[in-house]
A and B are shown apart, each in its own frame.
Chain A
Amino acid sequence: MISFVRLRPALCTAVMAAGLAALPLQADTLRIATMGEPSSLDPHKISGTWENDVAGDLFEGLITEAANGERIPGVAESWEISEDGTVYIFRLRENARWSDGEPVTAEDFVFAFRRILDPATAADYAYLLYPVKNAEVVYGGDAEPETLGIEALDNHTLRITLERSTPYFLDQLSHYTAYPVPRHVVKEHGDRWSRPANLVSNGPFKIQRWQSQTRIEVVRNEHFHDADNVALDQVIYFPIEERNTALNRFRAGEIDVARDFPTQQYGWLRDNLPEATHTAPFLGIYYYTLNTREGHPTADPRVREALSLAVRREVITDRILGTGEVPAYSFVPPGISHYEPAMLEFSELSQDERMERARELMSEAGYGPDNPLQLRLRYNTSEDHRQVAIAIGAMWEPLGVQVDLFNSEVAVHYTDLRQGDFDVGRAGWIGDYNDAQNFLSLLESGVGNNYGAYSNEQFDALMREAAETQDLERRGEIMAEAERIALADSATLPIYYYVSRNLVNPALQGWENNIEDIHRSRWVSFEE
């Protein structure tokens, strides 16, 4: 693990020299603009990426994330995994404590897992823990929470049993759905335990104040096992939904980190704040879902392929967005462990060759100048989505495709997608964890997020086979085979891989770009 030298003495001098000795140590406070107000501080009641920032500073799971996003031991000190990959035994740190000084025990984890999977908790992200034995039946209310595959062998030894070997399970344990919750506090306060006045956490920071819609203040948790290496005294999160506001406040020096910035300003930022502007590959795919249901022109795979061929992805990434997004020729983003994404076959062709092929396909499918194809393209309201939709509409024009654009607010958009009321629909997926299965499962028959209702038996069979496969490399190959089938069917139209966008005060150290865009404040310090 990286160890940090604390820089406090230097800071004191700097602050005093500036004549600000009366104020608390300013530079020991990190101010972050998160992109929204958390729904809760209860890790069982959140589901957004912006909430992860706060929850991950307050709590720590068995496994946690290093500055570069790599998984490192958290509350667990060490662990053993059984031969068949279904039984995990964790040894917990003796010095892990809650912010009120109580020890963090294996029972806290057992309690937390049972709580999040209890139907009465109504946790919307509980399904991430489905690999745990009996999780799904417990959540469905068909089994007692006690039958869940988690057990405290003693105060500091925890056993988790899985339904089947799940190679990405350790990664998942760093997710907030797997955080412990303080049994003693939840028992005392019930659902109100996560109110700022009651909240007790086990991470590097603890809550100080939450003023709704304006700021959340956390301070260093002296009981944290690695507290000596936490440089910051305080972190303040400002929920700022307007990306332009975040940018302005960053420029005025009111915040140190903005977790997003407006793509439209990227050119300006690159010229004026190159040191502060961070973009990095991100585990997400921006794609158009194509409706394969009967009666839609996109039910014809030739039409789907032609549409995909005509989309000049480079124009979208370079000219429209221009923040370093990468054109997507696969459904699974690159950079996923134990996986080499399959590629769309035509990615080798030149644009002219693609268009020629697209025209052939369209006329085979019976469309042409005298029988133009009419498509309904739905997107949810956002400047970026709008621009991409317009550009793609224009790219399809040479094929004689007439596109009707429909934008709507999020709730209506996804209702329409689920009801299949579209030909082409904007969608995106950000990986819950670093595994190809998380993406490819979107294309399995009958899955809720499979908006286009793509269905291919061969694909489904391969996905089932992959789920049973222990060997990580082999499993990756099987999934890549499945992806190849989906790509050959033009199941969806991948457009680009997301990038993460951050503005970071150049004086910050320990803030590293990573593919999951996870940044824990415990690694961050101010230089000098």
Chain B
Amino acid sequence: MTTDTTTLTSDTGDLSAGDSLGRDAWRRLKRNRAAMVSLVLLIFIAAACVAGPWLTPWGLNEVNWDAFRSPPSLEDGHLAGTDANGRDLLTRTLYGGQISLSVALVATFVSLVIGVLYGAVAGYLGGRVDNLMMRFVDIMYSLPFMFLVILLMVVFGRNILLIYAAIGAVEWLDMSRIVRGQTLALKRREFVEAARALGVRSRTIVMRHLIPNTLGPVIVYVTLTVPKVILLESFLSFLGLGVQEPMTSWGVLISEGVDTMQSAPWMLLVPSTFLAATLLCLNFLGDGLRDALDPRTH
């Protein structure tokens, strides 16, 4: 009980208190070694994807006519080998990272914002509104996603922003159900009842009390959404709705690599390593963040 009331006061407090909360969280995060290592590695991967392509001697679409599907080697400068078209795999993986990381960032953010707000509102208001809002989610779940995307493309043209939007537009559904479930449980708890008794506005209750308390599962689900989104992008590319050659993404590179798993394993291993490393780091960072932001760990 005591902890919950402290949360209440610190949350409703002024901006400077919020600032100190952020600083507190940062201090706690810094103590978490796994999270910090992950953060550094993530920044490194992101920086490599942004700056890397200028550092490699090859272009995204530059063909080395003497090296088709050649294994990694120092001699010819293809540190990660080449693909079936004689293009430098490292360069392509770094470029692909730009797409995958930004798809992941934007789509996850979209799904996070819509899903959390939608779920929290539905759960908090409950009753008929909740019911209606959740039936809408059921409808969205059941629509054939492929046609939705194909049509979006017909209407808006081929546009990378559209991919983000399309992916975000389906991924928020799970998120909203999870947040709603949490909210349903939370809204009967003492601190929410107390806030209501104090006459705090519903909007404030949702934003300040309910949503922050769902952070645990939300952060975890975010770290699970990222890989989903990255791979969904490769499915859209298969349909011709994702990135177009010569641009690429990790998902696309991995699905190309699977075909040559035995004869050219590096084509699978290089992009997979980047993806796996990113996801692992995100996961540990997510856990660290969750711990750091948890008001109860004061």
Within 8 Å by CB, do A and B touch in the complex? yes
Say whether chain B's binding surface is mostly helix, strand, loop, or mixed.
loop
Interface segment, B28-36, B42-50, B240-248? B240-248
> A191 — which chain B residues lie within 8 A by C-beta?
none
B156 within 8 A of A: no
In the complex the two chains form, is B240's CB within 8 Å of A390's CB? no
CA distance A265 to B240 in the complex (A): 25
- Report which of A268, A319, A404 forms a contact with B262, defined as CB distance below 8 A: A268
Closest beta carbon of chain B to A15's beta carbon, Å: 33
Cβ of A406 under 8 Å from chain B: yes
Q: Are B259 and A264 in contact (CB under 8 A)?
A: yes
Is B245's CB under 8 angstroms from A386's CB?
A: yes
Bound-state Cα–Cα, A333 to B288, Å: 64
Are the CB atoms of A244 and B85 closer together than 8 Å? no
B68 within 8 A of A: yes
Cβ-closest chain A residue relative to B68: A319
Contact (Cβ within 8 A) B263 A268: yes
Residues of B within 8 A of A268 (CB): 262-263
Which of B240, B256, B264 contacts A409 (CB under 8 A)? B240
With known contacts A264-B260, A264-B263, A383-B256, A405–B246 Cβ distance under 8 A: yes
B84 with A244: CB separation less than 8 A: no
- Decide if A391 is an interface residue (CB 8 Å cutoff): yes
Interfacial chain B residues near A267, Cβ < 8 Å = 263
Q: Contact: B260 with A265, CB < 8 Å? A: yes
Knowing A406-B244, A412-B240, say if A390 contacts B263 (CB, 8 Å): no
Contact A390 B245 (CB under 8 A): yes
For residue A39, CB closer than 8 A to chain B, the reply is no
Q: Are A390 and B262 touching (Cβ within 8 A)?
A: no
B244 touches A407 (CB 8 A): yes
Contact status B85-A265, CB under 8 Å: no
Complex Cα spacing A408 to B241, Å: 7
In residues 150-180 of chain B, which contact A (Cβ within 8 Å)?
150, 158
Q: Which residue of A lies closest to B264 (CB)?
A: A264
The distance in angstroms between the C-alpha atoms of A264 and B262, with both chains bound, is 10
| A267-B150 Cα distance, complex, nearest whole Å | 37
Residues of B contacting A408 in the complex (Cβ-Cβ under 8 angstroms): 239-240
Q: Is the Cβ of A381 less than 8 Å from the Cβ of B85?
A: no
Residue of A nearest to B87 (CB): A390
- CB of A264 within 8 A of CB of B239, answer no
Bound-complex Cα distance A238 to B175 (A): 40
Instruction: Determine whether B61 belongs to the interface, using a CB cutoff of 8 Å to chain A.
Output: yes
Interface of chain A: mostly helix, strand, loop or mixed: helix
* Chain A residues within an 8 Å CB radius of B256: 383
Q: Which of A266-296 contact B (CB under 8 A)?
A: 267-268
A315 interface contact, C-beta 8 A: yes
Asked whether A315 lies within 8 Å of B65 as measured between CB atoms, the reply is yes
Contact of B263 among A265, A319, A381 (CB under 8 A): A265
Q: Is the CB of A320 within 8 A of B84?
A: yes
A262 CB within 8 Å of chain B: yes
Closest B residue by C-beta to A322? B68
Question: What are the residues of chain A within 8 A of B240 when measuring CB–CB?
Answer: 381, 406-409, 412-413
Tell me if B263 and A405 are in contact (CB < 8 A).
no
Q: Is B63 an interface residue (CB 8 A)?
A: yes
- Within the complex, the shortest CB–CB distance from A389 to chain B, in Å, comes to 7
* A381 / chain B contacts, CB cutoff of 8 Å: 238-240
Tell me which residues from 385 to 402 in chain A have a Cβ below 8 Å from any Cβ of chain B.
Answer: 386-387, 389-391, 393-394
A388, closest chain B residue (CB) = B85
Chain A residues contacting B264 (CB-CB under 8 Å) are 264
**B158 / chain A contacts, CB cutoff of 8 Å:** 406
Please, which residues of chain B bring their CB within 8 A of the CB of A315? Answer: 65
Query: In the complex, what distance in Å separates the CA atom of A387 from the CA atom of B87?
Result: 11
Residues of A within 8 A of B63 (CB): 390-391, 394
A391 touches B85 (CB 8 A): yes
Bound-state CA distance A265–B258 (Å) is 11
Interface string of A393-434 (1 = CB under 8 A from B): 110000000001111110011000000000000000000000
Complex interface: chain A residues within 8 A of B246 (CB): 390, 393, 405
Q: B85 contacts A387, CB within 8 Å?
A: yes
> Does A405 contact B260, Cβ atoms closer than 8 Å?
no
Q: Nearest CB to that of B259 among chain A residues?
A: A264
CA distance A23 to B225 in the complex (A): 50
Question: Separation in Å of the B179 CB from the closest CB of chain A?
Answer: 35
- Chain A positions 238 through 277: 1 when the CB is less than 8 Å from some CB of chain B, otherwise 0: 0000001000000000000000001011011000000000
User: Restricting to B226-247, which residues have a CB under 8 Å from any CB of A?
Assistant: 237-240, 244-246
Q: Mark B244-280, 1 if CB is under 8 A from A, else 0.
A: 1110000000001011101110000000000000000
Contact of B245 among A244, A264, A405, A409 (CB under 8 A): A405
Choose from B65, B85, B238, B259 the contact partner of A390 (Cβ within 8 Å). Answer: B85
For the complex formed, measure the closest distance between the CB of B13 and the CB atoms of chain A, giving whole angstroms. Answer: 55
- Of B85, B244, B262, which one neighbours A394 at CB under 8 angstroms? B85
Closest 6 pairs (CB-CB, A-B): A408-B240, A405-B245, A268-B263, A394-B63, A264-B260, A407-B240
CB pairs A–B below 8 angstroms (29 shown): A262-B259, A264-B84, A264-B263, A264-B264, A265-B260, A268-B262, A319-B68, A319-B86, A320-B84, A381-B239, A381-B240, A383-B84, A383-B256, A383-B259, A387-B84, A390-B61, A390-B63, A390-B246, A391-B63, A393-B61, A405-B245, A405-B246, A406-B240, A407-B240, A407-B244, A408-B239, A408-B240, A412-B150, A413-B240
**Contacts A268-B262, A390-B87, A409-B238 supplied; 5 other A-B pairs, CB < 8 Å:** A383-B259, A386-B245, A405-B245, A407-B245, A412-B240
